[in-house]
Structure 1
Amino acid sequence: MKERIISVDIFRGLTIALMILVNTPGTWEHVYPPLRHAEWHGYTPTDLVFPFFLFIVGTSIVFAYRNKEPNAATYRKISVRTLKLIGLGLFLGAFTISFPFFRDFSEIRFPGVLQRIGVVFFFAAILFLNANWKALLGICITILVGYWIWLGFVPFDGAAPTFDRAPNNWANYIDLQVFGSHMYKDDYDPEGLLSTLPSIASSLLGIFTGLVLISKRPRKEVIMLMLGIFMLVLGYLWDTAFPINKALWTSSFVLVTAGWANIVLALIYYLTDVKGLQFGSIFKYTGANAITVYFLSSFITKLFYSIEVADGMSLHGWLYQNIYVQSFLSGEMSSLLYGLTVTGFYLLLAWYMYRKKIFIKV
């Protein structure tokens, strides 16, 4: 196995752990507010998780492809990995435990987390191989500004467009026209088609941080910290004209989330790579098999929700009701403890895989 960057693996693994935690509460009726997504505009800590992963995808691209040539063999590897990610995402959306084990076509959701990761990885990797940092910066700015202009200023059937959850929102409208009923909600999808454009910018911003990490510059943690603060300030200023919104993946959302990602990664980098502290090793193990752990957690959670046990209750519901629901615990605490247990299981699984030198590349 090649030598890995400790802080990058820890950051990636921590992000996957948070993904699992926020996706597997005991019950969605009792969830602490920080572990919920924002209703529309604004953001919560939970809304940072997915953009953090796309950010670190960009950072990882730098380490994986800095010595690669932009040739047919490299493009083939990138394409194969992209198709694997999209395929795994579609499999999760289509699978059911009932024979013949796949949903009716009309019920399948086409967009999804793994699908977006695949698409973002593809374009970010191709751009990294063929453009220098100045060109990448220009592309990133073009995406963010162009997306703002499209959603905020291009007339919609002769009327003004909106950033609200409404039929005259360009992102929602295009998703509905392209995907129809194959979406997360009836009127929009948080991993929709148009909002994938700015999510590529999230990964490009991660590439810039990766370039800092492989550079010969001293005090890299300070550079990342300053980049993070700059992006936060710029994102909050833009929020006044283009609201921070995860469902739309607005340009202000891209900057704010990348700002926080830089700050968090700078802290982890300082503790591990600069000071040499043994910090967050359990997340390092998870980061080494990030996609595998995420896929398994999503697949097994789906099984737990689908398998019926006593009185028609799902296996998930039975475990939660009989083990975690206690009179001395609030509903939110019971729900959180269930999620922490599930997350802990996958962290231990990742530790075991790391110890046995099992590294599954997707």
Structure 2
Amino acid sequence: MILVDDAGGQWPTIGHAPWNGCNLADFVMPFFLFIVGMAIPLAFKRIKRWDKSVGKVILRTLKLLFWGLLLQGGYSHAPDKLTYGVDMKKIRWCGILQRIAFAYFVVALVEIFTKDKRVKDLSTNRLAIFRLYCWHWLVGASVLIIYLAVIYGTYVPDWQFTVHDIDSADNGKQFTVACGVRGKLDPPCNAVGYIDREVLGINHMYHHPAWRRSKVHDILSLRAYYPS
């Protein structure tokens, strides 16, 4: 990720895809989550007491949240000028590490509370893996169904934002993004962004997303925003 952050702007193929597509950097988080998931049953295999396992999960989750807030929460405002400090009005509550912490917490609890309920004697048929991990499959399917229902069923109304860029001619101006739709997956009108803005607040979101490098952003700059 250091390579991506420092060189991604010069070599786009190793940086994050602006919106549609998939580049090298886009494989990092999925593979990291896969590694975390594979490590969970190994980590708790020899711990018999569920309360001790839950305690370890909570502690590790808090550690990830702490480092996420410290490294990605906006603690360093200007690294080139070595100015630091937390601006609570703009702190990024839910960065990558915080999201990994949430995923780890949920999956680890599923593993802890279902490992003793697995069927011990299984045949070697093709459906054995589904019987062995039936609770995992059920939770995964439920999460997928809820996710699809939310992103395609949530109504996204028009929303406003204020430009905070002293180098921009629009600094201090307020704009409105015209949405009023359901099921759109483009950057300004998708349900995930809407929920993040409502729950976290627009000032607590990431202000330099990769999609700003896309053609969609150029089109939005001309047509989708209008001063309010």
TM tier, shorter chain? Answer: 0.5 to 0.7
* Corresponding position of 2:18: 39
CA positional deviation for 1:20 = 3.0
* Corresponding position of 1:145: 145
Identity of aligned residues (%): 32
CA positional deviation for 1:105 = 1.5
CA positional deviation for 1:61 = 0.6
Looking at structure 1, the residues matched to 49 and 149 of structure 2 have their Cα atoms a distance apart, in angstroms, of 32
For 1:1-362, list aligned pairs within 5 A: 19-25=1-7, 29-31=9-11, 33-69=12-48, 71-92=50-71, 93-96=73-76, 101-131=84-114, 132=118, 133-156=133-156, 159-167=181-189, 169-180=190-201, 181-185=203-207
1:189–1:182 Cα change, 3 Å:
farther
CA positional deviation for 1:160 = 2.6
Looking at structure 1, the residues matched to 83 and 21 of structure 2 have their Cα atoms a distance apart, in angstroms, of 41
- Tell me, yes or no, if the aligned pair for 1:70 and 1:129 is still in contact at 8 Å: no
Aligned length: 167
1:105–1:91 Cα change, 3 Å:
same
- Tell me, yes or no, if the aligned pair for 1:34 and 1:45 is still in contact at 8 Å: yes
Give the helix-richer structure, 1 or 2.
1
TM-score (norm 1): 0.42
- Tell me, yes or no, if the aligned pair for 1:95 and 1:103 is still in contact at 8 Å: yes
- One-letter code aligned to 1:38: A
SS in 1 for 2:70: helix
1:156–1:182 Cα change, 3 Å:
closer
Looking at structure 1, the residues matched to 74 and 20 of structure 2 have their Cα atoms a distance apart, in angstroms, of 30
- One-letter code aligned to 1:162: K
- Tell me, yes or no, if the aligned pair for 2:19 and 2:210 is still in contact at 8 Å: no
Looking at structure 2, the residues matched to 100 and 69 of structure 1 have their Cα atoms a distance apart, in angstroms, of 47
4+ residue segments displaced more than 6 Å = 97-100
SS in 2 for 1:106: coil
CA positional deviation for 1:145 = 2.5
- Tell me, yes or no, if the aligned pair for 2:154 and 2:183 is still in contact at 8 Å: yes
1:23-43 CA distance string (max 9 Å, x none):
232xx5411x32021111221
1:55–1:29 Cα change, 3 Å:
closer
Task: State the superposition RMSD in angstroms.
Answer: 2.7
- Tell me, yes or no, if the aligned pair for 2:4 and 2:25 is still in contact at 8 Å: yes
- One-letter code aligned to 2:94: P
- One-letter code aligned to 1:42: G
- One-letter code aligned to 2:192: A
1:224-276 CA distance string (max 9 Å, x none):
xxxxxxxxxxxxxxxxxxxxxxxxxxxxxxxxxxxxxxxxxxxxxxxxxxxxx
Looking at structure 2, the residues matched to 72 and 125 of structure 1 have their Cα atoms a distance apart, in angstroms, of 13
Q: Which runs of 5+ in 1 are unaligned?
A: 1-18, 191-362
TM-score (norm 2): 0.64
- One-letter code aligned to 2:195: I
Q: Which runs of 5+ in 2 are unaligned?
A: 119-132, 158-179, 212-228
1:189–1:179 Cα change, 3 Å:
farther
Looking at structure 1, the residues matched to 185 and 3 of structure 2 have their Cα atoms a distance apart, in angstroms, of 29
- Tell me, yes or no, if the aligned pair for 2:37 and 2:107 is still in contact at 8 Å: yes
Higher RCO (CA < 8 A, seq sep 6+): 1
